[in-house]
Amino acid sequence: MKKQSIFILTILILLSGFGLKLEAQESVIDGAYAREHVPKREMVSYQGIREADAMYSKRVLRMIDLDEKINHPLYFPIRPIDYPGGQQPARSRVSLIHLLYHIGILNPAEAQRQMVFKFDPNDFNNWYKSPIPPEDSINRRQVLTYQEDIQVLDQETGVREWQTVDREIALQDVKSYLLWEEWVFDKQRSVMDVRIIAIAPIAKFITDNNGIEEIETQRLFWVPFPQYRPLLARYEVFNVQNDSERRTFDDLFAQRRFESYLISESNVYDNRFIRDYLLGIDAMHEGKKVEAELFNFEHDLWEY
């Protein structure tokens, strides 16, 4: 009887200590004050545009290179940084690909999974033609994989045979993004407005081709940007100049705080890429020329 009492008392002490530990963790604030604005933030809805008011529009395809220093908030952190909850809402800082893939596409709650479309490298225009249903977890996970041929030793015959296996692409291998966007002049508000339509991550990784390492580039998937805006508005990005003013991914894109270059514009030749008819520095100049035309269209409507 005495031994049972001692055992029960020990269990109670351990449980109480565990409860104190949890309470201590919940009372921790990782900083000088509780931060609660970003996790509770809601996106600001777009201003509606009537077709009758859209007197000019141009659709373009951009490339965001994450090697550019200004684009580093989209690439880092490599591993998610979680902050303690309790006195402040639970929050974390993640990279854009982690947000799109793990929190949006592979959300544990099937009802909260966001839309995703397979990437067809032969058809950039109809990016929305191959959706992957929310309940199809296998194909959703495979959007971040690639196939590699390896030699496997047959234990019975002793002969090496080639087999195709699936490899998972590391999140840090996503080094760039494609953006479809449309520039519209709204005569009702007298502004040139830009709307991002879809975004696609691009991975660059090293593969083993018969003992020879090669760099391979793979375009992964398309996601519709407007459907992801509520998610993008709740996750912060790093502000190099001020830790107390953390912008969200939605703010970063809305305020155009990223560097990119134009690789295609809507044209009669199936929206062909600039690289199909110009190379090198000439292609870069052509992209800058299209951007200048978009800027000058709005500028030239006014009298000074």
202 DSSP assignment: E
Strands 54-65 and 174-186: antiparallel
* Residue at token pair 């191959």: 130
- Span 54-81, mean pLDDT? 96
pLDDT of residue 246: 86
pLDDT of residue 166: 85
How buried is 304 (Cβ within 10 angstroms: 0-12 exposed, 13-18 middle, 19+ buried)? Answer: exposed
- Is pLDDT of 135 > 90? yes
CB-based contacts of 266: which residues, under 8 Å, 6+ apart? 58, 59, 60
pLDDT of residue 21: 46
pLDDT digits (tens, 9 = 90+) for 193-209: 999 999 999 999 988 77
- The residues that bridge with 91 in the sheet, in sequence order, are 83
- Is pLDDT of 232 > 50? yes
Nearest CA-CA partner of 129 in 21, 222, 267:
222
Percent of the chain with pLDDT over 90: 68
pLDDT of residue 83: 87
Rounded CA-CA distance 109/105 in Å is: 10
- Span 121-150, mean pLDDT? 93
- Torsion 228-230-231-234 (CA) sign: positive
Q: How far is CA 164 from CA 119, 146, 150, 158, 264, in A?
A: 21, 10, 6, 19, 34
- Span 278-292, mean pLDDT? 94
pLDDT of residue 115: 97
pLDDT of residue 5: 61
Nearest CA-CA partner of 221 in 147, 139, 276:
139
Computed over every residue of the chain, the mean pLDDT equals: 88
Q: Could you give the 3-state DSSP secondary structure of residue 59?
A: strand
- Is pLDDT of 99 > 80? yes
Nearest CA-CA partner of 265 in 193, 198, 183:
183
